[in-house]
Amino acid sequence: MTYRLLSYQSSTGPRAGMLVADRIYDVAHETARAQWSTVLDILDQWDIASKALEDAAERIARGESRSSSQARTDSVLLAPLLYPGSIYCAGANYSDHRAEMALALGLEPTPDMKELGEAPWHFIKTSRSSVVGPNAVVKLPPYSQTVDWEIELAVVIGKPGKDIPVAQALDHVAGYTIANDLSARDAMRRVKMPPASPFHLDWIGHKCFDGSCPLGPWITPANELPDPHNLALKLWVSEELMQDSNTNKLIFSVPEQIAMLSSRVTLHPGDVILTGTPAGAGAARKRFLRTGETVRLWIEGIGEFEHRLA
């Protein structure tokens, strides 16, 4: 029996829940593990929690649940992980996105980083300030007029590791969710600083404003998505389809990204890796988000959620 791991708003505050057959069960109550009240608590013990959650889902399917449940439609879903330890974001990691940006800028196509023998490249996004959940209202930052959308497959780490080999990297993944890497394009560069200056780029202003990382709607366990490199993904802005691609266009694979990151830092349960965005972002269209619009995101095998702009 399948399940999805999520965070929901209870009468006593945020709680970890599991979605089975469109109903939400409190994980701590259903598994009789009081310490598993949050998703981060569960990820910290993922080696035993994953089996306990599978057993609970099977028990629920047999009509033998240990706790009450509530309909998903009657529940308030929060970001599935409140809050990730670190959020690592891959840049320029879809072949179709690189091609469209070269065309938009009038540039000749060039070899990508992998073809040049380079390693994956990542930046860091803030966690507590940036992460919001389904149906959140994200306030557009007053310093930017060009906030862009970027749907991304998000990898949730469930097993710590340092210097992880590519062949073993997926063993460290608990599951997958969906992210929108909102980006203030006009805040990326400090125009008074020369391009060669280390102070020319402003990654905080560009990527880390409040609400800049909507996550949702839940985490699909990794064993239900054995191949994360062949998933359709789509993003709509106010019902206009903007991004329509597939993770088979990733330049660096999920294992390659995990291996590279773990060669620099220890990855911990609850860390999240945003793996890159495909073609269709607003920068190539010269079309950006506006107050009152709704963004809807969908990835095959995971689900969909939306958020609004204010």
Q: Give the model confidence (pLDDT) of 69-102 as tens digits.
A: 999 999 999 999 999 999 999 999 999 988 887 7
Q: Give the model confidence (pLDDT) of 97-118 as tens digits.
A: 888 877 776 778 789 999 999 9
Q: Could you tell me the residue ranges of all domains in the chain?
A: 4-78, 87-309
Find the DSSP H helices in the chain.
Answer: 27-31, 39-44, 46-61, 95-104, 203-207, 254-264, 282-285
CB 155 within 8 A of CB 272: yes
Closest of 204, 248, 244, 233 to residue 303, by C-alpha? 233
Mean pLDDT of 265-285: 96
Average pLDDT of the chain?
96
pLDDT reported for residue 102: 76
> Sheet harboring 232-237: ordered strands across?
137-138, 303-309, 294-299, 232-237, 240-246
| Identity of the residue numbered 19 | L
Mean pLDDT of 249-270: 98
Q: Give the model confidence (pLDDT) of 115-165 as tens digits.
A: 999 999 999 999 999 999 999 999 999 999 999 999 999 999 999 999 999
Other Cβ atoms less than 10 A from the Cβ of 97: the count is 24
Look at the domain 87-309 and name its fold: Fumarylacetoacetate hydrolase; domain 2 (3.90.850)
3-state secondary structure of 204: helix
Higher pLDDT, 106 or 47: 47
Q: What are 107's two structure tokens?
A: 């540039």
pLDDT reported for residue 149: 98
Q: What are 18's two structure tokens?
A: 């599991």
> Which residues lie across from 147 on neighbouring strands?
184
Closest of 169, 128, 154, 159 to residue 43, by C-alpha? 159
Find the DSSP H helices in 212-298.
Answer: 254-264, 282-285
Q: Give the model confidence (pLDDT) of 160-201 as tens digits.
A: 999 999 999 999 999 999 999 999 999 988 989 998 988 998
Higher pLDDT, 265 or 191: 265
pLDDT reported for residue 97: 84
Q: Give CA angle at 111 (249, 279), nearest 5°.
A: 35
CB 251 within 8 A of CB 113: yes
| Region label for 169, one of left (φ > 0), alpha (ψ between -120 and 50) or beta (otherwise) | alpha
Q: Give the model confidence (pLDDT) of 199-250 as tens digits.
A: 998 999 999 999 999 999 999 999 999 999 999 999 999 999 999 999 999 9
Closest of 254, 291, 58 to residue 156, by C-alpha? 254
